[in-house]
Amino acid sequence: QVQLVESGGGLVQAGGSLRLSCAASGHFPRVYAMGWFRQAPGKEREFVSGNTWNGRDIVDANAVKGRFNISRDVAKNTLFLQMNNLKPEDTAVYYCAGTDVYTTFVPTVAGAYKYWGPGTQVTVSS
């Protein structure tokens, strides 16, 4: 089956940058979309950014537009999230997710995704 593992989280000062990676292993039966979610303590898991695997649809949450950029390396089955101009409110556990359910758009609700990584912590200090 499919396994996802995130890496690249850590501590950074406000205004700094981090790049998260999500490595996928196993068999992807026609994956259609992947995305990044985050969850801060005491808050609901929220959508951050996502793309259809063919790259024809990319969606960013309003809170990260102009600061975060999602990309992928199809040959290496790896998803990335470049995070720039980080703010303290970006502090959260970040998760990558994927779905093998057919879609022509990027789902922005967690329930639409089947595969999840264990998460990586991002902490932004002021």
State the average pLDDT over residues 78-91.
Answer: 97
**2 with 97: CB under 8 angstroms?**
no
pLDDT tens-place string over residues 20-68: 999 999 876 778 999 999 999 999 999 999 999 888 999 999 999 999 9
Strands 33-39 and 3-7, bridge-based pairing: unpaired
Q: Cα separation of 33 and 89, whole Å?
A: 26
Q: What is the pLDDT of residue 78?
A: 93
Q: What is the pLDDT of residue 55?
A: 87
Q: What is the pLDDT of residue 27?
A: 78
49, β-bridge pairs: 36, 60
Q: Cα separation of 19 and 81, whole Å?
A: 6
Give, in order, the Cα–Cα distances in Å from 73 to each of 2, 54, 59, 62, 110. 17, 11, 18, 25, 23
